[in-house]
Chains A and B, each alone.
Chain A
Amino acid sequence: MSATADEGLMTGSLICAHCGQSVPPGTFCGFCGAHLHEEKGRRRLGHFAASPSEHVLRTALISTLFPHLMRRHAHVFRETFAGGALLVLVLAALRLYTPALLLAAALLPVLYLLYVHEAEVWERRPLSALLATFGVGLLLGVGYSLGFGQLITPSFAGTEQGPLLSGILLPVVAQLAMVVGPSTLLWRKDLDEALDGLSVGVMSAFGFVFASVVAGYWHNLTAPLVGQAAVSSDQILNILRVAIIGAVVSASTTGLVTVTLWLRRHGRGRGLQKSILLQPAAMVFVALLAQVGLGLGSYFLSSLLAVVALWALGAAALLMALRVVTHLALLEEGAAHVIAPSSPCSECHMVVPSMHFCPHCGAARSAAPKRFRPDLEVVR
């Protein structure tokens, strides 16, 4: 590192041992995001790129699915989600099955809509992006639920058509349907970052799951508003599984696919992170495998508790997988060395040179709300 005094300001730089670039002094490399003082800092698993105060290998709903949120604001989303889930239980305790199920189904989509607004995730033409993701997801979700409701013949041992259709084909069709909407945005130039891929995938999955739950459970929803008996623990478990855990599973699998698709399609990779986890084909395989695994598990397991436990474990594992892929994608992203005048980091609020990563806390600038990002100048 070299530094010289200059009218009260110092200038300095050091060479990052991981990418070989000359970067400002700090804890993290502003170019590749690696930890400058750790030998194995290239992947810096102790500092999630979108939220460096958190470890990558943990199950965290909000910082994984809502990565543009500033840390100071993320807790509001977290607490609102927890409050909403609690309200579902309260409604169930009041024998209000229909509102409980609807609230559970709407909770995550509504939070995501507000997240997209809050962080200005789709800064230009947000309405068309919303229609292509949430709108298409809604339509396909209703079609899936009602269409396949007619095609399959449910039986008390599963379905008349057996596990091939119910456990394999239907989950595959559902997963592919959730990617239809986002794929129409793949060529939009203003949505070219990996996190744009994540947001359109998650939004589409939330729309699909919301619509398929409402359409699929419409028969139950038309029951008398206040039930004669208390909503049973079975029903509560089922509400949590289909409306909340199911939404997290689908958002994670769809996000895995769209993050890698976006990274590949827009050519923003820098070749810094060589990992099969960034290959779209591999993530399509993982997504389909997860959906089929959970589908077959639901078909063959005869205990509801075991099914809910399986889905909860699956959701946690998929959320962590999505977090790892998002982290690697953020470290990989950025086709050129960019720098701009110093500006406050949205994560740690320190005034630092504007680069791909904050040299102080390591937060990826592309994970900051878009309105707080300085225009980066390309330095070649």
Chain B
Amino acid sequence: MTVATYPVTAPVVGPALKPRLRHHHFLLAVALLLAVLVVGLTAGAVLSRPTPTACHFSCGPDVGRQYLSPTAYVSSAFGYRVQYDARAFTKSNASSSGVQLSTRDGSGVLIISSAAGSDTQSLLQLSINKINSNVIQDVQAVGQLPGAEIGEVQGVGWVYTGTFVPPNGGQSLPVTVIDVAASHAGVTIGALAIGPQDLSSVANLPFGLANAQELDQPLTETLWAARP
């Protein structure tokens, strides 16, 4: 054990130790560093912004793909049938009243649901409420979708934009969300299509849903239980 004695003085307050940077120098340094970083990176981002490709008259919409391996989901509750190309979509979350079809590359998803009755508005709202706000953020309505249709039955639809934020990192990207519902013979079918937003090609205009044709195909090929 160490035994030592120590000088004991009356309590003395020493001189205040001065910081290396005085307060106003510190604030100036913070402001300068942040300004350089924020302004520099913002300028870089603005300068590297992609510009849309002008198409003029030369590029029309692509021809839709033909079904090479057709398959179908059949709703056991309401009897309607959604045909899709198994080479283009994977099926998941199938239930008696709905199904989720995801494009093979994972970039688009089509969620089909249904309910008894003819309340299309409720189904529209139900579909949009199902969006995972952790992954699809900042969902904002753009406007009504003209010509909304499911299996040759005219319906109603809304277009939304949002930002897809991958869980746990990765690049976020803007997406277009299309919410459609149509009712026929006491059954209402709703469809929510989500895909990356690409406004650089006129083929995707006016709403910029990059894989709109691909996602629209199963809706066009939907057969109602009671044929319209």
Contacts and interface: CB of A to CB of B under 8 A. Distances in A.
B45 A222 contact: yes
A271 interface: no
A239 to B, nearest CB: 11
Contacts of B7: 9-11, 342, 353
Interface string A347-360: 00111010000001
Contacts of A102: 37-38, 41-42
Contact of A103 (B19, B38, B194): B38
Contact of A216 (B23, B33, B169): B169
A128 interface: no
Interface stretch (B118-126, B128-136, B182-190, B220-228): B128-136
B21 A118 contact: yes
B164 interface: yes
Given A76-B23, A337-B2, A350-B13, A148 B169 contact: yes
Interface centre among A102, A152, A154 (most CB of B within 10 A): A154
B170 interface: yes
A262 interface: no
Q: Bin chain B's interface residue count.
A: 35 or more
Contacts of A353: 6-7
B137 A302 contact: no
Interface stretch (A35-43, A52-60, A157-165): A157-165
Interface string A318-332: 000000000000000
A167 B174 CA distance: 23
Interface centre among B16, B42, B170, B194 (most CB of A within 10 A): B170
Interface in B9-27: 9, 11-17, 19-21, 23, 26-27
B205 interface: no
A351 B106 contact: no
A209 to B, nearest CB: 10
Q: Bin chain A's interface residue count.
A: 35 or more
A131 B167 CA distance: 30
A222 B48 contact: yes
B33 A342 contact: no
Interface in B159-173: 163-173
Contacts of B106: 153-155, 159-160
Contacts of B3: 13, 22
Interface centre among A221, A353, A379 (most CB of B within 10 A): A221
Given A298-B134, A342-B9, A216 B171 contact: yes
A295 interface: yes
Given A80-B30, A154-B164, 9 more contacts: A12-B5, A20-B1, A106-B34, A174-B169, A216-B170, A298-B134, A302-B134, A303-B134, A304-B133
The 7 lowest CB-CB distance pairs between A and B, nearest first, are A344-B14, A24-B6, A221-B45, A154-B166, A153-B106, A10-B8, A302-B132
